[in-house]
Amino acid sequence: MSTLPMLIDEDIAAIDTALADFIAASGSRLALLIDGGGFIIARQGDAGDIDLTTLGALAANSFAATQAIAKVIEDHSVTSLYQEGVRNSLLILSIGEFGFLAAVFPSEIGVGSVKFCSREAVTQITGQLATAHQRTPGEGLDLASLNLADAEPLFRRRVTPT
């Protein structure tokens, strides 16, 4: 995974819109943009009682483990991971080199339709992150020094003009 690029209001607004549109199209309950380390960068939808910090960390680690297994079996094309539940299911999709889109959706909705609806969101988010990366190449965020319980304020801060 690459370092997460510096994000400005415009980036977050575009990501939030892509996540909200995805929820509306897919019927998902919750959509999260998660960086490679498991930090929640943006979210839309109803989290209810879900511990998002834990979900982000576990989703990133689960995807990383799946990618490692794929390499062991000589298959390097893992782009998604699906977990079916009785009430809710989870789909985790790669967002290029920057992280993951995680969708929590009611189990009665088919994963195929959620995955189909995710294509546009993945394209939009990947494009916005690439734009942010091009804006400040070589710069990024070191999320290791953040408060694990509440990383979101960093992504909502404003740069004051000099």
The arithmetic mean of pLDDT across residues 12-39, rounded, is 95
Percent of the chain with pLDDT over 70: 83
Tokens of 81: 């991971």
Any idea where the domains of the chain sit in the sequence? 9-136
Tens-place pLDDT, residues 84-93: 999 999 999 9
Least confident of 42-51, 61-70, 110-119, 151-160: 151-160
Cβ-contact 92, 33 below 8 angstroms: no
pLDDT at 137: 72
**Average pLDDT of the residues of the chain:** 87
9-136 CATH: 3.30.450.30
pTM of full prediction above 0.85: no
**What's the pLDDT band for 98 if we cut at 50, 70, 90?**
confident
